[in-house]
Amino acid sequence: MKTPAAASKSNKPRLTAPASGAWELRLYVAGPTPKAVAALRNIEKLCEEYLAGQYRIEVIDLTRDPQRAQADQILAVPTLVRKLPVPIRKIIGTLSDTRRVLGALGLPAPKADPFAARKGA
């Protein structure tokens, strides 16, 4: 299991942990493919920014343990499953669209900076 090492210093809003004290996520992959690596990198970055110190990511490689796909009804990889807080939610893909991932996880998206274009962002 992968757990965060240190909290990041960010202006992003952090959410309070669910009653159990942690967000439990499972990332289903099929080997160390480029998409799997990208999905893991993207969810780790997002979690550090929005859930620092309040999450746990379990990476499940279905090439090594294919029976695990049945438990969460996994039909495609990479797939992220939010186990806690309930309800369970699933996201398929590389998790590169931050707004979409935040919305699917039930986290508030960052507010757009109206001056971003002027700042070169």
Answer whether residue 112 shows pLDDT above 60.
yes
Model pLDDT for residues 80-102, shown as the tens digit of each residue: 999 999 999 999 999 999 999 99
| Amino acid found at 10 | S
Q: What's residue 56's pLDDT? A: 96
| Amino acid found at 118 | R
Model pLDDT for residues 23-72, shown as the tens digit of each residue: 999 999 999 999 999 999 999 999 999 998 899 999 999 999 999 999 88
Mean residue pLDDT of the chain comes to 83
In the chain the domains, ranked by start, together with CATH numbers, are 23-116 (3.40.30.10)
Tokens describing residue 43: 């969810």
Q: What's residue 72's pLDDT? A: 86
Tokens describing residue 21: 């004290």
Q: What is the pTM of this model?
A: 0.75
| Amino acid found at 117 | A
Backbone angles phi, psi at 23, to 5 degrees: -90, 130
